[in-house]
Structure formats: structure tokens, C-alpha cells
Amino acid sequence: MNQYIVNGNRPLFGEVTISGAKNAAVAIIPAALMVDGICRIENIPQISDVTLLFSILDELGAKVRVLNQHAVEIDSRHIHSTKPSFDLVRKIRASYYLIGALLGRFGQATVAMPGGCNFGVRPIDQHVKGFKALGAEVTEGNFVEAVAKSENGRLVGAPVYMDVVSVGATMNVMMAAVLAEGITTIENAAKEPHIVDLANFLNSMGADIKGAGTDSIKIRGVERLNGGTYCIIPDQIEAGTYMTAVAATGGQLLIKNIIPKHMECISAKLMEMGVYVEEIDDTLLVRRSGPLQRAKVKTQPYPGFPTDMQPQIATVMALAEGTSMVTEAVWNNRFRYVDELRRLGANIQVDGRVAVIEGIDHFTGAPIEACDLRAGAAMVVAALAAHGTTEISHVQYIERGYEDLVGKLRAVGADIRIVEVPDEDLGMENIG
Ligand code: EPZ
């Protein structure tokens, strides 16, 4: 296991290039299982969640050929199993996309209940409701088993109304519907950039999906998906994390390879807090020289402020003048990292889904833990700004979703390094 050692209180200066979007990649890679041909996928982030998904695809019979650091070719013409092994699937939440992909193409899927970051109840009832509407029989236990009821093993298009706005359910039902007979509509669909990216990927392979990015998506089922080439969008949350890093430390970063529209909700909040943000084509210039102002934020589905930026913005607020407030409206338990921030001196009170943050002058380095992916990123942001040395443990969570975080930060002047520690020293199993 690794730890990060950070000597903080250094402003960041320079350029950072954003990698492909994790939450698009973890859907597009399973979706490649639906393609009866070879697909080439570019701009894939080098993160552990992606590596794990490649192992799952390989086990099912897909041939994954690495072309370079960020591009692969996936050949799914000879899939021999629709039951990925329990141990692999349990390590990653996004393995639920295997259900939609395998059920859609082969009319059956048996997939362990997904694992992933723990920040509250994570039901999949909306996914199941969608599969059932398309004519699948679904049983849930340690495994989710889904089988198309029709004689020819194909799902049948139908209207699906989502009771909650769910990224995962929208993408999963979209995948299942692509090869179904007839038309599926998804109402109250989520609108995140990765939903549009998955739809674009599937369309480029021959699917017929319209309306992705709105709350009403229409999918006309096709007979098969052919091969093709696709390039994944840049990661909104990775870019946002670097924006909060420079907001916390001061300095100036050019954040390259972003889609400006995706960054608006984050840029607007940081500008309100006194951070200078300028959009230059597909680059953001982010500078913080003066004091940070207090603010209020409430997480919401896109285009609202993303829950996956909540720990990072709260960390910046902990250094702002006055009292800030964060309301977490997506997940019911996403403030576990607050105890860790308090170890650095933060003054935060949590009551249910609301955190009240009294700004302090500076953090002071201490040993802390990453308790999930984005919480871990927030710990790095805090450590970069802290006076003294911070040791961050359980960084395997961070490595699930950030490509070369340490290398990218070192290149802009951060004093951060990775040290290896024996597993037993951390007193924790590797949850992945
Ligand atoms: C995705 O999770 C992301 N994960 C999460 O990012 C992100 O926090 C979340 O969307 C919200 O943006 C991936 O893309 C792999 P949801 P997902 O279904 O799809 C409730 C990260 O840090 N709900 O949109 O699992 C649910 O309880 C990760 O990168 C149901 O009630 O989230 C939650 O309150 C962590 N029934 C809300 O909807 C369901 O069937 C939103 O969840 C599904 C969800």
C-alpha cells in the first residue's frame, strides 16, 4: 500500500493536462461488450478502476489490446461468459454497467452486487425497474441475475420513467435498450456529461440514441453494433479538483484539455469565492492571490454543482473568511471526510446533510486518511495548503480515479511523494 507525504503551504504554478473522464470510461468500457466487432477507444484514463474493468472484460472473453498509454482496442466478437467473477466485480461500483451491456446483447447477465465508495445507501432499484420494463426477469441477492423473457432472448423497447435522477440507472437502461426490439424512452433521465459521452460512443458504433443530455432520451433498438473508433471526453471532476487545489494553495494554473461548458458550475462557485477563472478555448486559467470569501453550495445533478466536487469545495471553504455552508443533496452520508479535515484544524459542524464551515487561517499538517475517492482528493487539496507535513494513507481510493495525481502535482511545484508502507501498518484490508 502507498501513502502520500505532502509538505504543504506552497502555491502551485504551471500547467496541468486533464485526462479522460473516469465516469465515462467506466461505462464505455463495459459498453464495448455490446459491440460485435472491434472498437478502438482513445483518451482512456490510466486509473485502477479501468485496469480492473479490463480484467473483467478479458475474463468474459473480450480481447483487450493496449495500443498506447491511453488507447485500447477491444474485440468482443467471442464473448463466452455472461457471469463475471464475484471477486473482481465486487471491487468496483461501475460493474453494474456489465448488467445492462450483457443483458442487452446476450439476453442474460449474472453480476455480483456492486462495491465502490461507501457514502450511504446505494440502491439499484431504478436500474432493475428499467430492465424489467424492457422485459427482463431480475432476481437480486448476492448476485443480480437478469434474463430477457422473450423467446428470442431480446429485450423489448418500452417507456421508462425514473423515480430519481440517477446517472447509473440512466446509462444502464440506455445500454440495455440499444439492442432491444423497438423504441425505449427514458424520462427524468440524468444529464451528466458522461451520459452524453456514452450515447455518443454507442451511436458511433451504430446505435440510435437521441436526446442524451436532456431529461428525455429516446432509443430506437438496432440489430447489432459494429466496430469503430471513439475518444472519451476530459474529466470534469479531475479538472475541478485542480481548480480547488490552486484555490486552496494560491498561485496560478493553466488547466488544459477541458470542455468549458462542463466546468461552469464549478468555475462560478470559485469565482464567487474570489478565485480568478478565465476560459481560453479548451483551457482554464485559474489564479488565487487574495483571500477566499465564504459561500454556500448545494450539490445537485448536472448542471448543478456536482456531488463529486463536494469534499474538495468544502476544503476550500474551510480556508475562507467567515461561515460557509454545504448541503449534500445527492448522497446521504458524504461527510465522513470531515473528521479527517478536523485533524488538520478545520472547524466544521455536520448536521445530517448540511455542513457549517467556519473558515480558519490555515491547516496544520497531520496524519490523515482518504476515506473514499473524492474525499481522498480533498485530503490532498488540504495537505497542499497545510503548514507542515501531512501523511495521507489509504490512497488506493484516490488511485481508482485520478491518473498520476502525484506526478501532475509535482510538475506544478507541489512537494508530494509516494511512500510504500506494509499493509499491516495501516490496519485495514484493501477494499479497492
Ligand atoms: C455516479 O454514481 C457516479 N459513479 C458517482 O461518482 C456520483 O457521485 C454519482 O453518479 C452522482 O453524480 C459513477 O459514475 C461510476 P446515482 P451512481 O445513481 O450512478 C439514488 C465518483 O466519486 N439512487 O446518480 O451510483 C442514490 O442513492 C463516484 O466518481 C436510487 O435511489 O449515482 C443517490 O442518492 C462516486 N436508486 C442518487 O440516486 C437507484 O437505482 C444518485 O445516484 C440509483 C440511485
What are the pLDDT digits (tens) for 145-194?
999 999 999 999 999 999 999 999 999 999 999 999 999 999 999 999 99
Output the residue whose Cα is nearest ligand 1's atom 9: 167
Closest Cα to atom 10 of ligand 1: 167
The ligand 1 atom nearest the CA atom of 121: 27
Q: What is the pLDDT of residues 199-255, one digit of tens each?
A: 999 999 999 999 999 999 999 999 999 999 999 999 999 999 999 999 999 999 999
DSSP labels for 229-282? EEEPPB-HHHHHHHHHHHHHH-EEEEEES--HHHHHHHHHHHHHTT-EEEEETT
Q: Identify the DSSP state of 47.
A: -
pLDDT band for position 396 (cuts 50, 70, 90)? very high
pTM for the whole structure? 0.96
**Hey, which residues are catalytic here?**
117
Res 108: pLDDT? 98
Q: Which residue has the higher pLDDT, 422 or 82?
A: 82
Ligand 1 pocket: which residues have CB below 6 Å?
Answer: 22-23, 26, 93-94, 117, 121-127, 164, 166-169, 190, 307-308, 330-331, 373-374, 401
* Structure confidence at residue 122 as a pLDDT band (50, 70, 90): confident
Give the Å distance between the CA of 279 and the centre of ligand 1.
Answer: 29
Compute, in angstroms, the gap from residue 165 CA to the centroid of ligand 1. 9
| Region 405-420 average pLDDT | 98
pLDDT bucket at 422, cuts 50 / 70 / 90: confident
The Cα angle at residue 243 between residues 8 and 115, in degrees rounded to 5? 90
φ/ψ (deg, to 5) at 325? -140, 135
Residue 324 pLDDT level (bands cut at 50, 70, 90): very high
> Which residue has the CA at smallest separation from atom 4 of ligand 1?
23
d(CA 104, CA 119): 29
Give the Å distance between the CA of 428 and the centre of ligand 1.
25
pLDDT for res 432: 28
Q: Which atom of ligand 1 is nearest to the CA of 122?
A: 27
Task: Output the pLDDT for position 115.
Answer: 58
pLDDT-derived band at 120, boundaries 50, 70, 90: low
CA of 366 to the centre of ligand 1 (A): 31
> 298 — phi, psi (to 5°)?
-130, 125
State in Å: Cα 425 to ligand 1 middle. 32
Residue 306: name the closest of 350, 244, 385 by CA.
244
Bond preceding residue 303 cis, omega within 30 of 0 = yes
Q: Does the pLDDT of residue 430 top 50, yes or no?
A: no
- State which ligand 1 atom lies nearest to the alpha carbon of 167: 24
Lowest pLDDT segment from 25-39, 88-102, 416-430: 416-430
Q: Is 175 exposed, middle or buried (0-12, 13-18, 19+ CB in 10 A)?
A: buried
Instruction: Say if residues 53 and 226 touch (Cβ distance below 8 Å).
Output: no
Instruction: Give the ligand 1 atom nearest the CA of 125.
Output: 40
The pLDDT-based confidence of 429 (bands split at 50, 70, 90) is: very low
Cell, residue 289: 492571490
What ligand 1 atom has the least distance to the C-alpha of 124? 40
Look at ligand 1, atom 26, and give the residue with the nearest C-alpha. Answer: 122
| Confidence band for 431, pLDDT divided at 50, 70 and 90 | very low
Q: 140 by DSSP, 3-state: which?
A: strand
Q: Whose CA is nearest to atom 27 of ligand 1?
A: 122
Pair 113, 100: CB distance under 8 Å: no
To which residue does cell 461561515 refer?
323
Task: Name the closest-CA residue to atom 43, ligand 1.
Answer: 124
Predicted local distance difference test score (pLDDT) of residue 91: 85
Q: Return mean pLDDT, the chain.
A: 95
CA of 290 to the centre of ligand 1 (A): 36
Which residue's C-alpha comes closest to atom 44 of ligand 1?
A: 166
- What does each C-alpha distance from 52 to 14, 88, 218 come to in angstroms? 32, 7, 31
pLDDT digits (tens, 9 = 90+) for 261-314: 999 999 999 999 999 999 999 999 999 999 999 999 999 999 999 999 999 999
Average pLDDT over residues 352-368: 98
Q: Which atom of ligand 1 is nearest to the CA of 332?
A: 34
Of 333 and 391, the one with more pLDDT: 391
CA-CA distance, 45 to 232, in Å (whole number)?
A: 9
User: Roughly what angle, to the nearest 10 degrees, separates helices 125-133 and 97-106?
Assistant: 10
Report whether pLDDT(425) > 80.
no
Per-residue pLDDT of 332-347, as tens digits, reads: 999 999 999 999 999 9
Q: What is the dihedral of CA 190, 191, 197, 202, to 10 degrees?
A: 50
- Distance (angstroms) between ligand 1 centre and the Cα of 305 equals 14
